[in-house]
Every structure is written in C-alpha cells, then in structure tokens.
C-alpha cells in the first residue's frame, strides 16, 4: 500500500492540475476575448476585367490593404483594370493572400491581454533576476513564484503567447502563409535576449507550462529536497537528441509542407482546455504524470524553444558559476540539481545541459561557492572531483 507521504504527493499533484484546468476553463470563458484561432485561407477572386476597387470589394480588402498588397498610393489607381497592372495574376494573388493573412493575425489577437502579459513577464523577470543575483531564492519562495507564474501567465492570461509559441507559430505561419508576424518576431527576440542575458530565466520563471512541470516535480520532494517517490535524471544526450529531432522535423514539415505537428499536441493548451484534442489530452496526461518523476520532460525532450534557448544559453552573460577556491567538493549542488546540469557545470567535463536558473544549487551549497554571476566559468583544479565521482 502507498504510504501517506507518497499519497500526499499524488493528491497535491491531482489538485494542482485539476485547479489549473478548472480555473483556466473559467477564465477562457469569461476573459478569453477573441478566440486566437485563424480562419481557413479563402480563395482569391480575380478577373482581368475587374477594376482594382472591385477586386478589393470582392476579396474584403479596404484601401489601406490594397495599398499594402498592390503598392497603390493615388486615388486614380483604384479605377485601373487588373489587366493594366504591372503585376502578374500570380503575384497579385500571392501579395493579396499575404496582406489578408497579416490582417487576420492582427485581428485574432487579444490586444488587451497581450501587453498586460508582456508587462508582467518583464516584472517577473526583474524580480527573479534580483533574487538570483542576491542568492535569495529559497525553496518556499521558488514554489510561490512558480505558483504565481502558473496562475498569472497561464490560468488568467492564457496559453498564448508563450515562449514556445513565439517560435513555433512564427515558423508555422511562415510555412503556411509566407509571412512573419512582426509583434511575434519582436517577442521571440526579447525572449532570446533574456536568455542571452541570464540563462533560461524566461523558461525558469516565466513560461506558464515550464513552471507547471517544475512545480509538479518539486511537489515530489520533501523539505530536505529528497524525492518522496523515486525520481530519475535522464541522460541529456538522449533528451537533447530527441528534442533536436522534434525541432528539425517540425521546421521541415512546417516550411516544406505547411504542416504543424506541434499544434495538435501543444501542452500549453492545458490553459485553454476547450481547445485540447483527444490526442493532445493523452500527450498532456503523459507529460503531467512524467513531470513528477523527471525534471521538465517537455522542455528537455520536445520543446522547440527549449532547444533554441539551450543554444542561446551558451552565450549567457549571467549564469551559475562555481568558486573553486572555497568549494569543498561535497557535490551537494549537483545532487540537488533536478537535472544533470550542475554536474556538468561543476566538473566542466562535458556540454552543459539546460540550466533553468532555478538556483537550487546556489541554495544548497554549504560554503556559498555557487553564485548566479557574470563572466566565464572557471575550470576546477585538476583532481578536485576524482575521488568518489
């Protein structure tokens, strides 16, 4: 029979997930705003004897859109025949489709929620960064901040935008409609800039699905940081190979065949439960369950932003660093790290896996030798970790 502490872990996890689903359903119904769901592309009506004005009316383009699509500036241009334009039929259709697609992207976004979310993300990043720099992240603060991230960025403000969808939707839209949506591109660059500044700060503290996985994992640890139900560290080579393959396949299919393989299984839809398909629900159940035993399974094994962020992380200015003068080689930091990241950072003997800037290693070091600071990582003195490693 399951002992009480193990049963408590399961109960807390079920309660957390049920609360996320139930409250997300409530918030999407009452404050979802416009459904962030693009319409199917429509066929463009074009005849050589049409005037530009008629062409615009038939296809739902106003003057501003006609100007963007066909490059007109003067009123007399709108009376011209399609046959008189210096563009081929194919060029007109392609340019019109892109203009309509761009206008649809703008029209399907909730322009109240998005700026609020971006503002709060920046506040959260600044708060987490400050705590990290001061070495003041404790287990209890971390849990409360994760809960805040899940509640605010996921439950209340929804599944979109997210660090992942800024990347996947950019690629998918480029493949399907040949356009780049500028606000999303700017957001993606901001997320990558945050990663270059301070490791995976955005994934660690701001991603609504990343923090949910993290909190589930930590619910399965006791107050001393030990696993209640056995937890595993999966070799990074395995998860990263899988993740790179998902990224390559997703990009190739999206750009080559306009096929989005992430959307049907996108686990962020836990915050928009009415949009979850049966396949999506099955994948979500597996990820949520696995999160109790393996650290951030979606981030490590599938997330396209996780992969790109891991590459960007290599150039991070602020990161976890070890002072080997005071380090006593007890390896408490690498044992406490939920993944194999700290072992690689501590021993500097292999490629470092994703570091989510959670500061568990900083918190447990008995000599204060681990910090979140600026600069290159030092190499450990030779022989420091040979015994017992």
**Which of residues 299, 301, 322, 365 is near ligand SF4 by CB under 6 A?**
299
Least separation in angstroms between residue 243's CB and ligand SF4 is 9
Using rule CB under 6 A, residue 137 touches ligand SF4: no
Question: Whole-number minimum distance, CB 102 to ligand SF4, in Å?
Answer: 25
Is position 303 an interface residue for ligand SF4 (rule: CB under 6 A)? yes
Query: Does 210 participate in binding ligand SF4 (rule CB under 6 A)?
Result: yes
Cα separation, 205 vs 318, whole angstroms: 15
Identify which of residues 97 and 319 has a Cβ nearer to ligand SF4 in the complex.
319
Write down the least CB distance from residue 240 to ligand SF4, Å.
12
From CA 213, how far away is CA 271, in angstroms rounded?
13
Rounded CA-CA distance 355/339 in Å is 8
SS3 letters for 150-217? HHHHHHHCCCCCCHHHHHHHHHHHHHHHCCCCHHHHHHHHHHHHHHHHHCCHHHHHHCHHHHHHHHHH
Distance CA 243, CA 303 (A): 7
Displacement of CA 150 from its chain's centroid (Å): 13
Please give the span between the terminal C-alpha atoms of the chain, in angstroms, as a whole number.
36
Instruction: Please tell me whether residue 129 binds ligand SF4 under the rule CB under 6 A.
Output: no
Q: Which of 288, 355, 371, 385 binds ligand SF4 (CB under 6 A)?
A: 355
Name which position in 17, 155, 187, 207 contacts ligand SF4 (CB under 6 A): 207
**Total binding residues toward ligand SF4, as defined by CB under 6 A:** 26
Does residue 154 bind ligand SF4 (CB under 6 A)?
no
Q: Taking CB under 6 A as the rule, does residue 320 contact ligand SF4? A: yes
* CA–CA separation, 241 and 307 (whole Å): 10
Q: Strand (E) positions, the chain?
A: 318-322, 370-374
State which of residues 131, 164, 212, 322 lies at the interface with ligand SF4 (CB under 6 A).
164
Stretch that binds ligand SF4, among 45-53, 224-232, 257-265, 335-343 (CB under 6 A): 335-343
Which CA distances in Å does 341 have to 98, 197, 233, 304, 361? 43, 18, 10, 19, 10
Tell me how far apart the alpha carbons of residues 269 and 127 are, in angstroms, rounded to a whole number. 27
Name the one range near ligand SF4 by CB under 6 A: 32-40, 139-147, 256-264, 359-367: 359-367
301 part of the interface to ligand SF4, by CB under 6 A = no
Interface pick for ligand SF4 out of 52, 172, 201, 342 (rule CB under 6 A):
342
Determine, following the binding rule CB under 6 A, whether residue 297 of this chain makes contact with ligand SF4: no
Query: Please, which residues have CB within 8 angstroms of residue 67's CB and are 6 or more apart in sequence?
Result: 73
Which single residue brings its beta carbon nearest to ligand SF4? 210
Interacting residues with ligand SF4 (CB under 6 A): 163-164, 203, 207, 209-210, 296, 298-299, 303, 305-306, 309, 320, 337, 339, 341-342, 345, 355-361
């Amino acid at each position: 029979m399951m002992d009480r502490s193990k049963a408590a872990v399961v109960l807390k996890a079920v309660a957390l997930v049920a609360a996320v689903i139930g409250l997300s359903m409530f918030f999407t119904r009452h404050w979802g705003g416009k459904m962030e769901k693009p319409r199917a592309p429509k066929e463009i009506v074009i005849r050589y004897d049409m005037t530009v004005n008629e062409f615009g009316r038939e296809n739902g383009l106003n003057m501003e859109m006609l100007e963007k699509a066909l490059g007109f500036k003067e009123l007399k241009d709108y009376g011209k025949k399609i046959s008189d334009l210096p563009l081929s039929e194919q060029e007109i259709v392609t340019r019109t489709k892109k203009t309509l697609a761009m206008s649809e992207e703008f029209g399907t976004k909730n322009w109240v929620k998005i700026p609020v979310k971006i503002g709060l993300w920046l506040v959260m990043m600044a708060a987490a960064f400050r705590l990290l720099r001061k070495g003041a992240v404790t287990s209890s603060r971390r849990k409360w901040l994760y809960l805040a991230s899940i509640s605010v960025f996921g439950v209340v403000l929804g599944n979109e935008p997210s660090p992942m969808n800024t990347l996947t939707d950019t690629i998918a839209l480029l493949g399907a409609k040949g356009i780049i949506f500028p606000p999303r591109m700017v957001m993606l660059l901001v997320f990558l800039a945050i990663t270059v500044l301070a490791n995976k700060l955005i994934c660690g503290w701001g991603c609504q699905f990343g923090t949910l996985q993290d909190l589930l994992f930590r619910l399965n640890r006791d107050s001393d940081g030990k696993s209640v139900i056995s937890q595993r560290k999966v070799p990074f080579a395995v998860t990263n190979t899988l993740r790179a393959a998902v990224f390559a396949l997703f990009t190739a299919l999206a750009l080559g065949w306009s096929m989005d393989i992430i959307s049907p299984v996108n686990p962020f839809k836990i915050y928009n439960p009415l949009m979850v398909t049966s396949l999506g629900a099955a994948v979500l159940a597996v990820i949520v369950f696995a999160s109790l035993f393996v650290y951030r399974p979606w981030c490590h094994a599938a997330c396209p932003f996780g992969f790109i962020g891991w590459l960007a992380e290599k150039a991070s200015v602020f990161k976890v660093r070890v002072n080997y003068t005071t380090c006593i080689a007890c390896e408490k930091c690498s044992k406490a790290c939920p993944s194999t990241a700290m072992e690689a950072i501590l021993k500097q003997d292999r490629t470092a896996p994703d570091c989510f800037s959670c500061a568990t290693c900083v918190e447990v070091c008995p000599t204060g030798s681990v910090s979140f600071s600026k600069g290159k990582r030092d190499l450990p003195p030779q022989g420091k970790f040979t015994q017992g490693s």
